[in-house]
Amino acid sequence: MADDVILFSKPYRTAREASNLEQVLASGHIHGDGAFTCEAAAKVSGLVGGGATLLTTSCTHALEMASILAEVNAGDEVILPSFTFSSAATALALRGARIVFADIDPLTGNTSADIIEPLITPRTKAISIVHYAGVGADIERISALARERGILLIEDNAHGLGGSVKGKRLGSFGEFATQSFHDTKNIHCGEGGAIVVNAEAFRERAEIIREKGTNRARFLRGQVDKYTWVDLGSSYLPS
């Protein structure tokens, strides 16, 4: 590599990856929701203000889960910043939604409540925002606007993990928040993500969607004697 090349990102390594992997292999539990998964989910939950955190295979999949949980369907409108990653749009397009793009403030890269409000119509089902480059969006006003209009809020917090606005953690404002652990992020596992479910009413269904549409999580907790297919879903949990 040429000496004058400045790397956009370099995945961080500690000294513990190999020994942790040996622990996983020695445990015999290498499928989803093992000890390391649970520990990581708890740490993420602490960083985003306590929401229920489910690790996923990517932030893309977390956004897809949020769209299903929000019951976004064909004909619904979802407001989305014009400056964001493609996954935020594809998660909505897969549900048949009409995406309404909101402009951004060129100083921050984020959209604002003033830009969003004129775009709201009776068909608006959700607002999906991003905290770009670690800068909290106009989130207090956007979340207040969403509550006032009865619209669900999805926070794409891939860039905002650990950040806050006036002492309130980014990722704790919306009904749902999503995280990325791609190797360009500050905390990574190569490819990975998480959905944070802040609204209690959606938490059980989030577990079901993540487990291929089954109530397997309830079975593993001993709440039912067998598990079965009960809803939409896919295989969203990581190894």
Q: What is the pLDDT of residue 3?
A: 73
> Measured between alpha carbons, how far is 73 from 142 in angstroms, rounded to an integer?
22
Q: Is residue 236 part of a domain?
A: no
SS3 content of the chain, % helix, strand, coil (to 5): 35, 20, 50
Q: Could you list the residue range(s) of the whole structural domain that residue 36 is in?
A: 30-220
Q: Is residue 107 part of a domain?
A: yes
Q: Is residue 6 part of a domain?
A: no
Q: Is residue 238 part of a domain?
A: no
- Among residues 10, 43, 166, 185, the one annotated as catalytic is 185
- Other Cβ atoms less than 10 A from the Cβ of 107: the count is 7
- The one-letter amino acid at 170: L
CB 98 within 8 Å of CB 77: yes
> Is 185 marked active-site?
yes
The model's pLDDT over 149-174, given as tens digits with 9 standing for 90+, comes to: 999 999 999 999 999 999 999 999 99
Q: Is residue 88 part of a domain?
A: yes
> Which domain CATH number covers 129?
3.40.640.10
Q: Is residue 234 part of a domain?
A: no
Q: Is residue 232 part of a domain?
A: no
The model's pLDDT over 18-63, given as tens digits with 9 standing for 90+, comes to: 999 999 999 999 998 999 999 999 999 999 999 999 999 999 999 9
Q: Is residue 21 part of a domain?
A: no
How many folded domains does the chain comprise?
1
pTM attached to this predicted model: 0.94
